[in-house]
Amino acid sequence: MKKTVVTRTHSEAPLAVEMINITKKFGPLYANKNVNLKIKKGEIHALLGENGAGKSTIMSILFGMYSADEGKIKINGKEVEIKDPNDANDLKIGMVHQHFKLVDIFPVLDNIIMGREIAKCHFLEDAKKRREKNVTRLYVISGLLRAYEHFDELMDIVKKAKTPTSVLVDLYNKFHLTSSQTDALLATPLSELTVLRREALKREAKKLRDSVINEGTKKESLPSRLWWKFVFSLARFADWFNRKTHNVDRAKAAFEITAIAKKYGLEIDLDTPIEECTVGMQQRTEILKMLYRDSDILIFDEPTAVLTPQEIDSLLQIMRNLKAEGKTIIFITHKLNEIMAVADRVTILRRGEVIGTVNTKNTTAAQLSDMMVGRHVNLTVKKTNKAAGKAVLKVRNLTMFDKHKQKNVVQSANFDVRAGEIVTIAGIDGNGQRELIYGITGLKNPVKGSINFLTNTLKPGNIKQRNYLGMSHIPEDRHKHGLVLDYRLDQNLVLRDFQDKRFAKYGFILNENIRKHANKLISEHDIRSSEGAKSSARSMSGGNQQKAIIARELNRKPKFLVAVQPTRGVDVGAIEQIHKRIVAERDRGVGVLLVSYELDEVFSLSDRILVMYEGEIVGEFDPKKTTRQELGLYMSGAKRNYQFHEEAN
């Protein structure tokens, strides 16, 4: 397809970022091909493209997560080499990733200051600087490598590399480590031993030690064992020293962060553990991490994909505030209305190449959509009027308890879902929707109540029973509940059915049949990855991971479908196809329970709408006979009017 390059005149302004002829390949696939990108100082610049278009990759190169195969980068007019995120931070570049990089058990404050702690005494300032450069972590990694056969080669990599990130990249490329083995080290900040618990260090070390770099590994020699004793002794001493001296000046750090939070409207409780924060609060933590490091160039990768409409409005206002302070913002999103609301300019990518850059004031959402996917996209859902059948799911007095909040987060829920209808649970995030779905799908056990599916009473926590009876589930968290990230794509596409006679015989997996099945789904659902069916799920873009889950769940021909935010993080072209497939399931006679925080999606797909507020169902609506304003009153708790009437069999 011929590319349409849009040019226009605009006032010249200093460039904060210039990326020139950037090319990046993963295997035979071009993630970015001769990408040229110019970001002006003090603007909000959006990156728009389909899933797998290369948006996150080009920003990961700018942030030092990847190295470009070709091309160069200029920051504020000066050519720079960004080898890792530490270099990016030194250049005042920060990034909020689509999947947050936070330690769940740590409070907000520790997550923000990690690696940038304020020392109480000058004696520790040099050590602090060394930790910021990850020197300690480099020693730990070199210790890990001593256990292996190719000692000289491995140590050569360590000596040549300036940072732990480049060590891991080199190890990944040279010895074909799985991404889980490298991520095991990246997931926990090993550079900060004074913060890291000793046992956590041992666990992370063991993950790499127990992994297989090559077929033959030799038993550790005495010098290697002595080295390990030294490494862990160092960790124990660092923990002890931190506890005794109270090295980190938490009060001063909290004062500075509070001032930043007030300035930008990012107020948050610094003592709350991340695992108890809402998604919106976790995102605020990530933004504060950037601002605490005095970043001037802020990258937001799909920041609204998991937010409620209220949180989205708040984030967009925060972006405007940051722009007013002179910050430069790069905004990756699929949502055209958000681009039109806040972006000054937008660059469109398709299959790794730049299609064009336009001023938002000179274009429309429809034109951007056509440029992004190369065709006209129609997001109007066409549904035929269809009488629903008998109830396939009956929920009675379902009550769910939350151990963190120490209260019932779902209170005596009663409703039915009938064959051939789409029932949508609407409401502001955090009002019990997640726990309700956990109870129905068996991910958590209810305190009381019953769930009847196709005349069968479902056993609490019995996912296998639900699978056998024909329940499919598109989960909210695709990483935690939807995929095994270190499995190949073809393996993930048969996770529910690997024991089926099509894919296994006499206890042996039929890999060729699985590959053929996977290739069929990849073609039908346009799932893009670097190596097709052989790609690891972790290496795929978020949108293509979502398409893989939807392909797997719908291909099973379910009798009941639970879909939680099914279009989260996917482009408009994919949204169009997903909506069509869900409606097709409804027309086939499948009962569909949908959870969505997108009101457009709620109104376009639903046959009935149930509103949840503070764990209770407070209203039931026909989308053709209600308005957004009325729905909003029930979502905010201003009105309640729900009386469940059980239908006669």
Number of domains making up the chain: 3
| Confidence band of 612 (pLDDT split at 50, 70, 90) | very high
The encoded tokens of residue 608 equal: 């009935």
- For the segment 599-618, the average pLDDT, to the nearest whole number, is 91
- Let me know if residue 287 belongs to a domain: no
H or E element, residue 328: strand 328-332
Last residue of one domain, picked from the residues 321, 347, 373: 373
* The predicted structure's pLDDT at residue 549: 94
Residues 344, 391 share a domain: no
By C-alpha distance, which of 568, 541, 528 is closest to 56?
Answer: 541
Q: What's the Cα-to-Cα distance from 216 to each of 96, 213, 219, rounded to whole Å? A: 40, 9, 10
Residues 396, 445 share a domain: yes
- Amino acid identity of 300? F
- Let me know if residue 128 belongs to a domain: yes
Q: Give residue-wise pLDDT tens across range 61-108.
A: 999 888 889 999 999 999 999 888 888 888 999 888 877 888 877 888
CATH of the domain at 43: 3.40.50.300
Tokens 């956990």 found at: 438
The encoded tokens of residue 371 equal: 């440029």
Q: For residues 163 and 137, give the distance between their C-alpha atoms in angstroms, rounded to a whole number.
A: 9
Last residue of one domain, picked from the residues 245, 261, 280: 245
Q: For residues 472 and 588, give the distance between their C-alpha atoms in angstroms, rounded to a whole number.
A: 15
* The predicted structure's pLDDT at residue 391: 93
Q: Give residue-wise pLDDT tens across range 307-333.
A: 667 778 888 888 898 898 889 999 988
Q: For residues 274 and 279, give the distance between their C-alpha atoms in angstroms, rounded to a whole number.
A: 9
Last residue of one domain, picked from the residues 357, 373, 389: 373
pLDDT of 457 above 50? yes
Q: Are 232 and 202 in contact (CB under 8 A)?
A: yes
**Helices and strands, counts by H and E, the chain:** 23, 22
Q: How far apart are the first and last CA of the chain?
A: 56
Residues 391, 367 share a domain: no
- Let me know if residue 386 belongs to a domain: yes
Residue 268 half-sphere exposure, CB side, CA atoms within 13 Å? 30
Residues 383, 369 share a domain: no
Residues 417, 449 share a domain: yes
Q: What's the Cα-to-Cα distance from 602 to each of 175, 431, 576, rounded to whole Å? A: 48, 17, 14
Domain span at 440: 378-470+558-649
Residue 370 half-sphere exposure, CB side, CA atoms within 13 Å? 9
- Let me know if residue 573 belongs to a domain: yes
- Let me know if residue 536 belongs to a domain: no
Measure the CA angle with vertex 306, ends 577 and 497; round to 5°: 55
Q: How would you label 334-373 residue by residue, b for 16+ Cβ within 10 Å and e otherwise?
A: bbbebbbebbbbbbbbbbbbbbbbbebeebeeeebbbbbb
Q: Are 478 and 549 in contact (CB under 8 A)?
A: yes
Residues 423, 329 share a domain: no
Residues 241, 155 share a domain: yes
* The predicted structure's pLDDT at residue 644: 82
Q: Give residue-wise pLDDT tens across range 127-144.
A: 444 443 333 344 344 444
pLDDT of 593 above 90? yes
Residues 602, 459 share a domain: yes
Q: Are 496 and 557 in contact (CB under 8 A)?
A: no
- Let me know if residue 528 belongs to a domain: no
SS3 of residue 571 by DSSP: coil
pLDDT of 264 above 90? no
Q: For residues 623 and 625, give the distance between their C-alpha atoms in angstroms, rounded to a whole number.
A: 5
- For the whole model, what pTM was predicted? 0.64
| Confidence band of 187 (pLDDT split at 50, 70, 90) | very low
Q: For residues 245 and 367, give the distance between their C-alpha atoms in angstroms, rounded to a whole number.
A: 60
- Let me know if residue 501 belongs to a domain: no
- Let me know if residue 530 belongs to a domain: no
Residues 183, 144 share a domain: yes
Residues 142, 232 share a domain: yes
Residues 457, 438 share a domain: yes
Residues 364, 303 share a domain: yes
How high is the mean pLDDT of the chain? 78
H or E element, residue 206: helix 198-210
